[in-house]
Amino acid sequence: MIKLLFLFLIFIFLGCQNNQTSNQNNDSFLIHNTESNDTDNDGLADKYEDALGLSVGVKDADSAVSDPLLQYQWHLINQEIAPHVNNNILVQNEDINIAPVWKDTIGEKNITVSIVDTGIDSKHQDLDIDTDKSYRYSDDTNDPSPTNIQLYNNNEGSAHGTACAGLVAAKGWNSIGTRGVAPNINIAGLNVFSNPTDASFADALQRMDIDVSSNSWGGGGAHWLFDDITSLEAIENGVINGRDKKGIVYIFASGNDGANANFQSILASGYVIPVSAVDGAGKIADYSDFGANILVSAPGGDADTDTRPALITTDLSGLTNGMDTYKKHWEVSANESGDFTHAMNGTSAACPIVAGIAGLMLSVNANLTYRDIQYILATTARKNDSEDNSWFQNGADYSVSDKYGFGVVDAAKAVEKSRNFSSLVNEKFFNKEYAVNIAVDTPKTVILDMDVEESFSVLQAQILIDSDHDNPGKLQIILESPMGTKSTLAYGDTLLYDKYEPWTLMTFQMLNEDSNGKWRLHITDLGSGNHGNLLKYSLTIKGY
């Protein structure tokens, strides 16, 4: 089965920081705070300066010319500057709070982030690709660049992987173009879309020389259930056996349908980190998928890249290939060669940003498990768009939202918490299946109680539903925890062409609650004239 790339989904590319005043000096727009391993206080840890050709102990790393397009990369350091837009909605410091991290680490080469995508331009001047770990599936080579066929069939879309790679690890402090979240991290390009088969994706997702897997692709949409069994099996192998059994960290774009992310089996598996997208004002992007299974959000930019800010990143080299051809080349100094774009957006863009942060977290503590990364990102995320009515408090006092998960990623807090984090090694697990035959008809609400005697801290919960209901998109499905947190798994407002026969829905929203007590499943038919039965269901709780 060919996977569907979220490239604008017919072309929205699936591709913030504390609300405090930025602590700047006269010659730098980088610094948000001054505590670091950066003795000359120029925004870059001392240990990297010599390798980058900078003067150790001399305040030179914060010069704007060190990465001339950095001033426009609002997702990194939001100074309300964006090129080529008529309606600038940027809000200062609505970013990922990355500047303090670079004063300590810019990533380590022993940590590899893979870009599972359309390939990466291996000759790009602002990217350093590990060709030993890269692969192009169409011709079994280690050059991950898009093929001529890819360029012919979809020139702009073939730049997607290169744009994702730049968001993770475009080289920094080299007086060229842009900067990635983790400029010193190791990057591998896995060009699955040169030969987009199940076998290609399965191989790319379970390569054991990868630490973090960035995935800005998926399938399904608003009206279908997308069950990618082959990829899911590969991911399960990766979290069980990858990184010496600490688990490969899988980051996934939530999707650009403005729909329930629980309609994708990979995103409901609990093995991955689904990421939604926000704009430059820290508000949900109109296209972004949402749901109880969203862990965190990250900048993805606006769908309208002509008048509102998208993200600045690497593009296919030159003026004849890539996203810059579609935008007819944007007239900004430092992009005369056309090697960069300002048109990258979508949850595709949010995903590699989180992947870069995960790489930084592993750079300071390689012992973190995939579950640790999930936990740390959730518990350090920043509550954005605080007036939005989607926010609520769970039973453990965490703010959580169907739109934003636990909020916008905070790189500085996540990296700092990672450094001395005691791993969640004692994994706890509860599962029980219930066989029933209960009618679920309009306007009936079915409430089912499930008693859990075990007591542990919850990380995630899943409900498997098996039903022959003739209009399943009208079923509202809510899981209620013993502490009273109600997590909406399905909204009952969808035209759904598939049935739950069966289907798994999941939530992160009970994070750190106690598992012990009475869980409740609420199922309501919000339509009219519908008929069907709930045949069986099961509750799975994972924790520590």
Two domains, one topology: 106-419 and 428-543: no
> 521 pairs with which residues across the strands?
448, 479
354: helix, strand or coil: helix
CATH 1.10.3720.10 fits 428-543, yes or no: no
Euclidean distance between CA atoms 168 and 181, whole angstroms: 5
pLDDT (mean) for 231-259 = 98
Range with the largest mean pLDDT of 45-59, 130-144, 436-450? 130-144
Report residue 442's pLDDT band, with 50, 70 and 90 as the boundaries: confident
CA–CA distances in Å: residue 191 to residues 114, 136, 139, 203: 10, 5, 10, 11
Residues 106-419, CATH architecture: 3-Layer(aba) Sandwich (3.40)
- By percentage, how much of the chain surpasses pLDDT 90? 84
Query: Residue 268: what pLDDT?
Result: 98
Domain residue spans of the chain? 106-419, 428-543
Query: Residue 3: what pLDDT?
Result: 52
344: helix, strand or coil: strand
Phi/psi of residue 317, nearest 5 degrees: -60, 140
> Is-contact 433 520, C-beta < 8 A?
no
Q: Which two tokens stand for residue 191?
A: 């060009």
> In this structure, which long-range contacts are made by residues 363-368, counting pairs with CB atoms below 8 Å and at least 24 apart in sequence?
363/105, 363/107, 363/108, 363/111, 363/182, 363/185, 364/104, 364/105, 364/415, 364/418, 364/419, 365/418, 365/419, 365/420, 365/421, 366/110, 366/111, 367/246, 367/423, 368/246, 368/418, 368/421, 368/423
Instruction: Say which DSSP state 95 is in.
Output: S
Report residue 2's pLDDT band, with 50, 70 and 90 as the boundaries: very low
Considering only 30-44, 220-234, 400-414, which range has the smallest mean pLDDT? Answer: 30-44
Q: Does the pLDDT at position 18 exceed 50?
A: no
Report residue 6's pLDDT band, with 50, 70 and 90 as the boundaries: very low
Instruction: Say which DSSP state 264 is in.
Output: B
Q: What is the pTM of this model?
A: 0.94
Tally of helices (H runs) and strands (E runs) in the chain: 10, 19
Q: Does the pLDDT at position 329 exceed 90?
A: no
Average pLDDT, the chain: 92
> Is-contact 245 223, C-beta < 8 A?
no
